[in-house]
Chain A
């Protein structure tokens, strides 16, 4: 316990609080910039079990902000969850760190060994966030949304009983409207600022303390930090909080299939979906390479792969064999469904 002596001096923690942290289990979804910052803080703080889930591999463009990863990880294309877990284990042997190289979908969550005390959002896409929202609401697990893009960030605690993410946004915003790190860039301090709020709130959940109500927002460039108030009760028409329906747990997420004998993966979207190829093309121009819009498809190159996106959202990713990797690239560059 000596290593936690400074933390235990904080009112609200103490030896009892530290024991609670050591008996807690945090699930961190996404092991990018947000996830590696949060995992570092939680492991060092002495959270007993930290589970990391990420489907992607370490790339050179990650090193600018995704602490924990080294040049060797990028060179060897190590799965992010595996690389992060390896580094974290040397930081605190008290903490059991588990790495899952997986898509955090309904099936993955259903097979968790036991329910986490708290879930931290480190994802880069709203499809996964809505799965987390609905799953956490159903299982009465608090989760903490966090997102950062450009120089701005936002975070919020979503507690069982609501309000939930759907109370604020009933449907996932379109990825094209919110941008991502590939298209809008990202300044590392924006991550640190958001994660500071997220981790403090996660610790409060685990310590049994009251959490902050409202949406934390920051713009580290303009030096603005604050908490926007939100309603204390769930929205009247929220399907999750009021209707106890969990759309993201029953809807199909896009399937990904490696094409027979090919170094290519097809991402299927639910029947009846449609995407605005022109909007995606406009967003990618100047960021992706060789962006071509034909009558029937949108083509571009990014992350060493060639993408073909069709009006029904179906996407072919050439130059990749692993469906998980293709799904990660799809969510990053196309981000529909």
Chain B
């Protein structure tokens, strides 16, 4: 199989990640902070290491990293905790459903003033557009993705965070498409990412990391700390980790973060983007194909295209017949497709990893052309 769906989840995972998950099941078996024996200590050490590795990744303290079932849970927590009735919130047309849907729900529940910044004519998002939106709408929160999961357009997150901080607006960065590739130390108040995409971890683990910001817990339950109290704790990170944690996935994530360290992350980004550009060049040569994506190297390794004669679902089936795995349709980006003019059938989305040979790129073109 030629796997071109790394924007959904990375495949295959490094053997080190599988070994770490297996080690938890075969040798550890318990949660951190749920006992005192050597197994528990083993779990505690590794979970602490995972927090520290994530903290390094985003540039914060390890005590300000909370693990969840995925970025969706983290984003729901942060948005629900930050937004109060009547608040303003600015988002972008590039949001994934894991941001768009909680916002639309909260808009109804809490009478939010929601403003969505449209893409500019180039399919990008300028700092000026952000400055203008923040000035006009005076939101409490600005939430934005580091890169589009549909087009691969990537945004100047450091500049966005800077202008938001000057405007007194709390920033929430959705780094799902970039964690494991881009530098996430951009000054966001909250960084959210899933562990199973370019971070190379297993599914079932995501995190939110904060810069000294308080939140109110949105889910109450057992935390392994303050167990004698009926009241849920309020301190990071336990306040936001109610219930038995997914410790095997945290083990896997820690192994993945060691496997793809900062040097490996920039190498993976360069290789993945080079593969994306090469795919784009091969695809635009095919009659009928138009890219729905920025061109060039300043991008995340994901691109979308449409075909004049074939529905995206047909292209997906043609590629599947050649054992090439891509994604077709709407990619959980409900606001973006209207701006791209792809609201009827969506797009074909291709997202390579760092390993893709010229022969495989040729096979993709041959399966369509």
Please report A residues at the B interface, Cβ cutoff 8 Å: 259-262, 264, 266, 296-297, 308, 310-312, 314, 316, 318
Give complex CA distance A308, B309 in Å: 12
Q: Please provide the chain B residues from 189 to 206 with a CB less than 8 Å away from any CB of chain A in the complex.
A: none
The 8 Å CB contact of A264, one of B313, B318, B321, is B313
New contact pairs (4) apart from A266-B317, A297-B318, A308-B311, CB-CB < 8 Å: A259-B313, A296-B321, A297-B314, A312-B321
Give the interface SS of chain B, mostly helix, strand, loop or mixed: helix
A-facing mask of B304-318, CB < 8 A → 1, else 0? 000000010110011
A173 → chain B closest CB, angstroms = 25
CA distance A318 to B314 in the complex (A): 10
Chain B residues within 8 Å of A260, by CB: 329-330
Q: Is B367 an interface residue (CB 8 A)?
A: yes
Is the pair A316, B311 in contact by a Cβ cutoff of 8 Å? Answer: yes
User: A308, B329: Cβ atoms under 8 Å?
Assistant: no
Residues of B within 8 A of A310 (CB): 317-318, 320-321
Closest chain-A Cβ to B357's Cβ sits at a distance in Å of 22
Q: Are B317 and A261 in contact (CB under 8 A)?
A: no
- Of B313, B329, B345, B368, most buried by chain A (CB within 10 Å of CB) is B313
A-B pairs with CB below 8 Å: how many?
A: 41
In the complex, the answer to whether A261 meets B330 with C-beta atoms within 8 Å is yes
Q: Is the CB of B311 within 8 A of A318?
A: yes
B321 pairs with A314, CB closer than 8 A: yes
Q: Contacts of A266 on B, CB cut-off 8 Å?
A: 313, 317
Question: Closest residue to B319 on the A side, CB-wise?
Answer: A296
Task: Report the minimal beta-carbon distance from A317 to chain B, rounded to whole angstroms.
Answer: 10
Docked CA distance A290–B311 (Å)? 16
Docked complex Cα distance between A206 and B51 (Å): 71
Q: Which of A261, A262, A296, A297 has the most CB of B within 10 A?
A: A296
Q: Which residues of A contact B321 (CB under 8 A)?
A: 296, 310-312, 314
Distance (Å) between the CB of B153 and the closest chain A CB?
A: 21
Which residues B299-340 have CB closer than 8 A to chain A?
Answer: 311, 313-314, 317-318, 320-321, 329-330
What size tier do the contact residues of chain B reach? Answer: 10 to 19
A314, closest chain B residue (CB): B317
Q: How far is the CB of B74 from chain A (nearest CB, A)?
A: 23
**Contacting pair B313 A296 (CB below 8 A):** no
Enumerate 28 A-B pairs (CB-CB under 8 Å) in ascending A order: A259-B329, A261-B329, A261-B330, A262-B313, A262-B329, A262-B346, A264-B311, A264-B313, A266-B313, A266-B317, A296-B318, A296-B367, A296-B368, A297-B314, A297-B317, A297-B318, A308-B313, A308-B314, A310-B317, A310-B318, A310-B320, A310-B321, A311-B321, A314-B320, A314-B321, A316-B311, A316-B313, A318-B311
Shortest CB–CB separation between residue A293 and chain B, in angstroms?
14
Please report the C-alpha to C-alpha distance between residue A316 and residue B317 in the assembled complex, in whole angstroms.
Answer: 8
**Please, which residues of chain B bring their CB within 8 A of the CB of A312?**
320-321
Chain B nearest CB, measured from A19 CB (Å): 56
Task: Please give, as numbers and ranges, the residues of chain A lying within 8 Å of B346 by CB-CB distance.
Answer: 261-262
Nearest B residue (CB) for A274: B321
List 4 A-B pairs, minimum CB-CB distance, nearest first: A296-B318, A310-B317, A312-B321, A261-B330
Nearest chain B residue, comparing its CB with the CB of A311? B321
Whole-angstrom CA separation of A214 from B330 in the bound complex: 55
Q: State the CA gap A94–B311 with chains docked (Å).
A: 52
Residues A316 and B314 in contact, CB atoms below 8 Å apart: yes
